[in-house]
């Protein structure tokens, strides 16, 4: 499984040029803050190029900012369990995973790092790449949910 981090601009360029990977599942983050400024802003439309897309409208917040924005660690990013399931399904299909956010640096990088760490013990490659600033809250929530999902799968198999 190949895990790639893309910005909105890079993903849109690949789509326009007809070079978007065929065997990919996409986790696409988009910004509610931009939506408040630009009423025409929306997530990237992957229809026609990718059938497996998980969209998440999520502010890019660090741990110290959560409380000021009205969140706790537990209430921020409620989609993390669903993303873990989406990642497992992509893994089972043999899909590559594209993690995309507005600038391709924080939310998508945190997601990619969690996936790489969980499946390949190589999440550090994202943290040490100076192009990225992985959102650590997203990293930890997704990594933890991948572990929980795996445990739940094991329990279901043992019950049969």
CATH code for the domain of 87 = 3.90.190.10
Q: Is residue 158 part of a domain?
A: no
* Residue pair 44/12 in contact by the 8 Å Cβ criterion: yes
Of 102, 126, 103, which is closest to residue 113 (Cα–Cα)? 126
Say how far apart CA 61 and CA 55 lie, in whole Å: 17
Q: Is residue 28 part of a domain?
A: yes
Q: Is residue 44 part of a domain?
A: yes
Check residue 36 and give its pLDDT: 66
Going by DSSP bridges, is the β-strand pair 3-7/24-30 parallel, antiparallel, or unpaired?
unpaired
Check residue 78 and give its pLDDT: 96
Of 128, 148, 145, 125, which is closest to residue 137 (Cα–Cα)? 145
Q: Name the stretches of the chain with pLDDT < 70.
A: 33-37, 41, 153-160
Check residue 7 and give its pLDDT: 97
CA-based angle 102:107:108, to the nearest 5? 75
The residue range of the domain holding 112 is 3-153
Q: In 95-137, which ranges are E strands? A: 96-101
Check residue 155 and give its pLDDT: 65
Q: Is residue 11 part of a domain?
A: yes
Say how far apart CA 103 and CA 159 lie, in whole Å: 44
Q: Is residue 25 part of a domain?
A: yes
The alpha carbon torsion through 78, 83, 85, 88 (nearest 10 deg) reads -160
Say how far apart CA 139 and CA 80 lie, in whole Å: 10
What is the model's pTM? 0.92
């Amino acid at each position: 499984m190949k895990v790639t981090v893309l910005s909105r601009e890079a993903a849109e360029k690949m789509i326009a040029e007809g070079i978007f990977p065929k065997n990919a599942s996409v986790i696409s983050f988009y910004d509610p803050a931009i939506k408040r400024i630009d009423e025409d802003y929306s997530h990237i439309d992957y229809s026609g190029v990718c059938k497996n897309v998980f969209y998440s409208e999520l502010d890019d917040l660090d741990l110290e900012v959560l409380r000021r924005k009205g969140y706790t660690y537990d209430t921020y990013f409620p989609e993390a369990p669903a993303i873990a399931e989406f990642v497992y399904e992509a893994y089972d299909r043999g899909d590559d995973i594209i993690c995309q956010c507005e600038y391709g640096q924080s939310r998508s990088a945190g997601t990619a790092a969690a996936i790489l760490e969980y499946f390949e013990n190589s999440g550090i490659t994202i943290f040490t790449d100076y192009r990225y600033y992985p959102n650590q809250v997203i990293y930890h929530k997704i990594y933890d949910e991948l572990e929980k999902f795996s445990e739940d799968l094991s329990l279901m198999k043992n019950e049969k």
